[in-house]
Structure 1
């Protein structure tokens, strides 16, 4: 499958391009684009990408590809996805797929009209430990409580210790201004004219939070609603209580300056609890584990399962290839992402009270 990569920033350099180079039987990166001439030359040379363009529109129009990977800034995801779909190209787009329901509708319409595959990059939902937890849960009895936790240090703290990343310093001021203006317009389109702290919280939900809440939905089903929510530190931290009829999920997220990554889903039943523990995706092959505590009679058993060391991103790419070839709808579809947008909007309504 011939690929075009849209955006050559951190996640392209650290994760996707090295991974794709290791899957030559499935993918060939034929083209790339970035607004930064420095990134385009340096990263293009590093990974031997033959065709290079300044914009996604130029890359898509040039052809010679079957699919695109959208890694650009969030504000431009929808534009690239819609354009690619209208040109008959399959799409894997990093989360968030978009920032507003209007954009999501445009993506779904473009996909339906062209018949291509559009998949959202929720790699945590492909981790073997997560899938094993999903299989385990129905046999554990009623759920009494669950916890979704994602409090991490800034990604750059980890990346700077473990990877050589080229960062752009040559973007025109007009491009930065356009990005900021577009972000404000899209957030307003999605949730209305809200205080800046609430808008920041919405962006945090669309970014980091989308991983957590998407995985929560697959594991436990959709939340019925939001009991309460609060943000602080100018939208940099969020906590919420999510309604699941006969139990509650506690959600908590934020980003700090500690050099660590703590993201997990934890579920409690009458005699068993388990935790799916994630580590940073910016150091490949760090294991996602399934930690289980189970009481039987007077004894408690604690086990840690590490089903596989294969990178969840690799599973995600293999799954994308399968969906395209087989013509199957991916589980992380645009409609699936719309469910997250609805929950983000409901959370924001509670934050804005």
Structure 2
């Protein structure tokens, strides 16, 4: 029987309610949710009602002092990810940090130092990289790396509300204390200034979009085809809601394109074009669970046509795989796949992109 890891959740918003709590309940042979934290009394009470027995806190430090907690999910606002995770490690808790890991390279280095000092397990929440179809694609591309002619990373999606409102009952509250809102804004602005030199739109919106949606795409790109040599070009339009870039891989270029519009669909994929093979991974919205990533491989079947094979191994949710691997890293000492050092590379790419926009 698996060892039960007691989990505390810091930040009980949309992602925790729709994605993480159902996953942890599905994995009740490995995890138990023993503590919840949120600054909104309405959210804390509402989420606490569906997680009976969990201790409720309005302050993250108090949750981290709870001896019943073995590990924490850090799902509070981005600006608090690093300080919360560092405090958790220092108090002997293992940590799964929702993406983005943090906002600045300084924070990334502080996280790495805390990890080395405490020896706690830390995993970054890039669930797309745990999808079986994606891992199959990585294996295929590894065998044709020297034949790649071109690659594309694409994510043009509609508003999350298009997927959330018809399918989920999310507890929301407008009763977060004003001092918490003020501190969140002040800390966020300070870190934006450190990272990109300004907290003003549109550059701040560009960077926040990179940290949010694009952290998934760039992280997956790095595992699939490696770290680019440099950013050839980056630009934005529509006040930062649409971003394009070109990454130089030496013998090929990868095009990057992302944006958010008003069309209710989720169009996210990575595509690698080799001399006689096209490998593509498509993702659907994570806000409707158990929609697997899909792998499509296209090859010649004659001199005049092609064959495409598309499918997925399982209906299993990538978040389930992610949490299972977190459990294995804690209990079996297996290495985490998405580490602090790995996630730091995304920030390095984002910094280079911001120098070009």
Specify every segment of 5 or more residues in structure 1 that has no aligned partner in the other structure, as ranges: none
Contact 2:276 2:300 in 1 (8 A): yes
Q: What SS does the corresponding residue of 1:228 show, helix, strand or coil?
A: strand
The Cα offsets for residues 181-232 of structure 1, whole Å up to 9 and x where unpaired, read as 1111011112223752112111111111000000000000001111111111
Matched, 1:202 2:201: no
Contact 1:198 1:231 in 2 (8 A): no
Map 1:302-321; keep pairs closer than 5 Å: 302-321=308-327
Map 1:255-266; keep pairs closer than 5 Å: 255-266=260-271
Contact 1:224 1:243 in 2 (8 A): yes
TM-score, normalised by the number of residues in structure 2: 0.96
Give me the whole-angstrom Cα distance separating, in 1, the residues matched to 2:125 and 2:334. Answer: 16
**Root-mean-square deviation (Å):** 1.2
Matched, 1:127 2:131: yes
Matched, 1:173 2:178: yes
Query: Quick one: structure 1 residues 338 and 40, their matched pair in 2 at CA, closer, same or farther if it must change by over 3 Å?
Result: same
Q: What SS does the corresponding residue of 2:157 show, helix, strand or coil?
A: strand
Partner of 2:328: 322
Aligned mate of 2:347, from 326, 333, 341: 341
Give me the whole-angstrom Cα distance separating, in 2, the residues matched to 1:249 and 1:101. Answer: 24
Give me the whole-angstrom Cα distance separating, in 2, the residues matched to 1:316 and 1:253. Answer: 24
Matched, 1:21 2:42: no
Contact 1:35 1:55 in 2 (8 A): yes
The Cα offsets for residues 271-329 of structure 1, whole Å up to 9 and x where unpaired, read as 11121000000000112100121114323101112111100000000011111112233
User: For this pair of structures, how many residues does the alignment match?
Assistant: 351
Contact 2:190 2:199 in 1 (8 A): no
Map 1:128-207; keep pairs closer than 5 Å: 128-140=132-144, 142-193=147-198, 196-207=201-212
Partner of 1:82: 86
TM-score, normalised by the number of residues in structure 1: 0.97
Specify every segment of 5 or more residues in structure 2 that has no aligned partner in the other structure, as ranges: none
Give me the whole-angstrom Cα distance separating, in 2, the residues matched to 1:291 and 1:221. Answer: 20
Give me the whole-angstrom Cα distance separating, in 2, the residues matched to 1:107 and 1:123. Answer: 20
Q: What SS does the corresponding residue of 2:240 show, helix, strand or coil?
A: coil
